[in-house]
């Protein structure tokens, strides 16, 4: 009798722990990301998003620019960015920027389908990030299944699970 109670209470503990973990993942925002320099999207607003974020219109993923890519336009460091910071970014072998969005492995998403074919504006999923004067620690729009489903319903596109899930 005592052993049975221990198993039941152990199973109850596991169920509660799993419930708390699931709520933690679903409710809390993702961890904050910190960028290597104080990037000002608003200052770059005259440039189309696809100029720096390759793949936005015609690829599955949108890329983040490398420091070398930024250096093509910025021959000299802008006054708002410290020379040491600029040198570190410009010489980075890969993109120095930290991505604000990450897809779970079981989700299929294509920027080409949404931006290219669907003609959605970047702000649909990324909020006002293009007008921000300083980096944000998180994507301004929480991207989760309920956000995606709400958009699919509003735009009258498929809600078939297999369309977005592997």
Task: Please say if the pLDDT value at position 159 is more than 90.
Answer: yes
pLDDT tens column, 105-145 = 999 999 999 999 999 999 999 999 999 999 999 999 999 99
Specify the pLDDT at position 107: 94
Tokens 């930024």 identify what position? Answer: 70
More confident residue, 119 or 9: 119
Q: Where are the domains of the chain?
A: 33-164
What is the length of the chain?
A: 166
Specify the pLDDT at position 52: 92
Q: What pTM was computed for the model?
A: 0.72
Distance from C-alpha of 68 to C-alpha of 94, rounded to nearest angstrom: 9
Buried b (16+ CB within 10 A) or exposed e, 24-34: eeeeeeeeeee
Specify the pLDDT at position 78: 55
pLDDT tens column, 69-114 = 888 887 665 555 667 777 777 777 788 889 998 888 999 999 999 9
Closest-CA residue to 114 (of 60, 47, 63)? 60
pLDDT tens column, 36-58 = 888 899 999 999 999 999 999 99
């Amino acid at each position: 009798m005592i052993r049975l109670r221990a198993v039941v209470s152990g199973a109850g503990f596991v169920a509660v722990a799993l419930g708390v973990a699931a709520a933690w993942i679903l409710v809390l925002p993702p961890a904050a990301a910190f960028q290597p320099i104080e990037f000002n999207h608003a200052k770059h607003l005259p440039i189309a998003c696809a100029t720096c974020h390759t793949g936005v219109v015609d690829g599955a993923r949108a890329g983040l620019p490398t420091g070398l890519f930024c250096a093509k336009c910025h021959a000299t460091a802008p006054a708002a960015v410290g020379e040491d910071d600029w040198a570190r970014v410009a010489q980075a072998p890969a993109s120095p920027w930290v991505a604000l969005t990450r897809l779970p492995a079981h989700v299929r998403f294509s920027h080409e389908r949404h931006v290219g074919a669907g003609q959605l504006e970047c702000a649909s999923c990324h909020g006002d990030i293009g007008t921000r004067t300083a980096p944000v620690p998180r994507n301004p729009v929480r991207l989760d299944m309920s956000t995606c489903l709400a958009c699919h319903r509003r735009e009258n596109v498929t809600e078939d699970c297999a369309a977005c899930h592997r």
